[in-house]
Structure 1
Amino acid sequence: MRGWYATPLGRALLQAEGELLGGVLPGLFGYHLVAVGCEHSAAALAASPIRHRILLCRVPPATVPGLCAEPDALPLASASVDVMVLQHILEFERRPHEVIREALRVLIPEGRLVLTGFNPWSFWGLRRLLSRRSETVPWSGQFLSLNRIRDWLTLLGFEIESAHHFFFRPPLQHRGMMARLGFLEGGGRRWWPALGGVYLVTARKRVIPLTPIKPRWRPRRSVLPAGLAEPTARSLHRRGQNG
C-alpha cells in the first residue's frame, strides 16, 4: 500500500481517514498506542493524546520510526496495549480473523481496537471485481464486508462501539474529477450510508466479570418420619443396656 498511498486516490483516502481518525482517537486514552500498517499511518495518529506510539510494518518504514512485524504475530506482551489501529490490514491477510485474535491478546481489558477496511458493496468493490486479476493494491486484496467484521469481532470477544461508512466517491485517479464529485459525500451519508467505499470500526475488548456465588446453607434433612423425635445419646445408651 505504500506506493499506492502516494497516488492522487491514495492521498485522498488518507486525508479522509485522517479526518475520521482525528475525531475518534482524541477520545481514547491510555499509555501505549500501536498502529499496524505502513508509515503513512503515522500522520493519522497525531490526534491521539497517547504519547507513546509504536508503528509496526512488514517492511522497514523509510520516513518514520517503526518496527517490522507480522500482524498475526506481534512482538508485544499480552494485555499491554491501550489502543490498537489496524489501517487496511485485514484485506491482505490470509487469515484475517487471526489478526483480530492477536489484537485481542495484546489489548488490555477494556482496550480499544480501531480498524478500517474497504467495502465490497460500493464503487470500490465494483472496481475490484473489474480488476480481480490485477496484482496491484488495493484491488488485489480481499474486501471484507462490515457485517463479517462485526461477526468476527463479536465472536472473538469485542463489543462494537461505532461503525460507519465513508468515501462515497468512485475510486478515480483524477484529482479534478474527484473534486467535482465531492457532493457525493454529503449525499451518500444521508441517502445511502451503507454504500461508502471504506468503513471505520471502533470496538472495545470485553471483560466478563466473575460473579461470586453465595453458598446456600440448608438445614440437615432428617431421615425420620415427621413428628418423631430423634434419639439422643442417653436414650441410645439405655437401649443398648436393655438389649
Structure 2
Amino acid sequence: MRNLPFQTFLSHFYQTPKGLSLLNDEKLLIERSLDKVFGYYLVQMGMTCEADLTQKCRVSHKVFTDLALPKNVSPEQAQEFVVADLNYLPFKDDSIDAAVMPHTLESVSDPYHLLRQVDKMLVPEGHILITGFNPFGCQIIRQKMGENRQSFNRANLVKESRVVDWLNVLGYEIQKVSFSTLSCATKDVETYQPSRFLLSLEYWMDKVGLDLGNVYCVLAKKKVGSPTPVGLNWRLAPWQTVKKGRVIANSEVHQSRAVDSSNK
C-alpha cells in the first residue's frame, strides 16, 4: 500500500464492512455532539468519507478543506471546497464559528500546531469538535495487527486524554467527551443491539474511568478571558505603611517605635 495520508486511506477503508461499522459509530457521536452548536460558518478539515458528517448541524454555511478535491464531489459541494494543506490553513483569524476535525490530528505530523491554527480561526465562544480512534479500542488493536496495520501504525493515533490536555492548555472548556460502544467484531448497524453484558461492562468501566470504545469524540468551546478593570489591581508602594486610615512613611513608624521603647 502506498504511503497515503491517513484521511485518504480512511475514505477507502470506510467503504469496507469493518470500516463502515466504525464510520456509523462516529457519525452518531458527531450528530449528538453538534446538536446544540450554532453559528454562521463551519469548517470541516479533511474528507474521510463521501457522506456529510455535519448534515444535521445547524450552522448556516459549511466549508470543506483537504489536500485534494474528492472524485465524487457534486458541483454544489465543489463551490464550498477549499484545497489546502492541513498544516497551513488559509482562513482568517476570528472568522469560523465551528471547526470539525474527523481524524485530522491523526493525519498531521504536529497535531498541537494544527490546534493552535484552529484556535486563531475560531471566534470567541466558538466550538471545536475532534474525533479519533481510541488506541485501546478492540477493533483498532485488531486493525493495527491485521491487513491495514501499515496505515494504522503510521497514523498519529492520539488518546482522548491528550487531546483534552491540549485543549485545556489553550484555554478551552471541555463540554463533552463521548465514546462509541464496545465492539470487537464487525456489526450491522441497522440491526445491532449491544448485549446486556456489554452495556453493564461499559457502565462499570465508565465509573472507574476506563473507556475502551473504538471511536471517541471531544467537543470544546473557546472561552473568552474577562478583562481586569483598570484601578482594581493596585498595591501600596513598598515604602509605605497603612495606619489608622492614613498613609505614613516608614521613617515615622521607626521614630514612633523608638519613642515608645524609651518611655518603657
Question: Would the TM-score normalized by the shorter structure come out above 0.5?
Answer: yes
Task: Output the CA distance in 2 between the equivalents of 1:32 and 1:180.
Answer: 35
CA spacing shift, 1:41–1:88, aligned 2, 3 Å: farther
Question: Corresponding residue for 2:105?
Answer: 90
2:162 corresponds to which of 142, 148, 152: 148
Cα distance, 1:20 vs structure 2: 2.0
Task: Output the CA distance in 2 between the equivalents of 1:225 and 1:141.
Answer: 71
1:18 corresponds to which of 17, 23, 27: 27
Aligned residue pairs total 223
Cα distance, 1:185 vs structure 2: 6.0
Task: Output the CA distance in 2 between the equivalents of 1:224 and 1:4.
Answer: 80
% identity of equivalent residues: 26
Length-normalised TM-score, structure 2: 0.73
Cα distance, 1:187 vs structure 2: 4.3
1:202 corresponds to which of 210, 219, 222: 219
2:199 corresponds to which of 173, 179, 186: 186
Task: Output the CA distance in 2 between the equivalents of 1:166 and 1:223.
Answer: 67
Q: Any idea what SS the aligned residue of 2:14 has? A: helix
**Which structure 1 residue ranges, 5 or more long, are not aligned?**
227-243
CA spacing shift, 1:52–1:186, aligned 2, 3 Å: same
Establish whether residue 67 from structure 1 lines up as the match of residue 85 from structure 2: no
Task: Output the CA distance in 2 between the equivalents of 1:6 and 1:133.
Answer: 14
Q: Any idea what SS the aligned residue of 2:52 has? A: helix
Aligned partners of 2:94 and 2:124 also within 8 Å: yes
Aligned partners of 2:98 and 2:126 also within 8 Å: yes
Write the letter of the residue equivalent to 1:209. S
CA spacing shift, 1:86–1:221, aligned 2, 3 Å: same
Aligned partners of 2:22 and 2:214 also within 8 Å: no
Q: Any idea what SS the aligned residue of 2:202 has? A: helix
Establish whether residue 9 from structure 1 lines up as the match of residue 18 from structure 2: yes
Task: Output the CA distance in 1 between the equivalents of 2:97 and 2:198.
Answer: 32
Aligned partners of 1:169 and 1:178 also within 8 Å: no
Q: Any idea what SS the aligned residue of 1:126 has? A: helix
Larger relative contact order (C-alpha < 8 A, sep ≥ 6)? 2
Task: Output the CA distance in 1 between the equivalents of 2:147 and 2:228.
Answer: 51
CA spacing shift, 1:32–1:185, aligned 2, 3 Å: farther
Q: Any idea what SS the aligned residue of 1:34 has? A: strand
CA spacing shift, 1:45–1:160, aligned 2, 3 Å: same
**Which structure 2 residue ranges, 5 or more long, are not aligned?**
1-9, 237-245, 254-264
Deviations 1:181-236 (A, max 9, x none): 8437634532334111111000111221111132669877579969xxxxxxxxxx
Q: Any idea what SS the aligned residue of 2:149 has? A: coil
Cα distance, 1:147 vs structure 2: 1.2
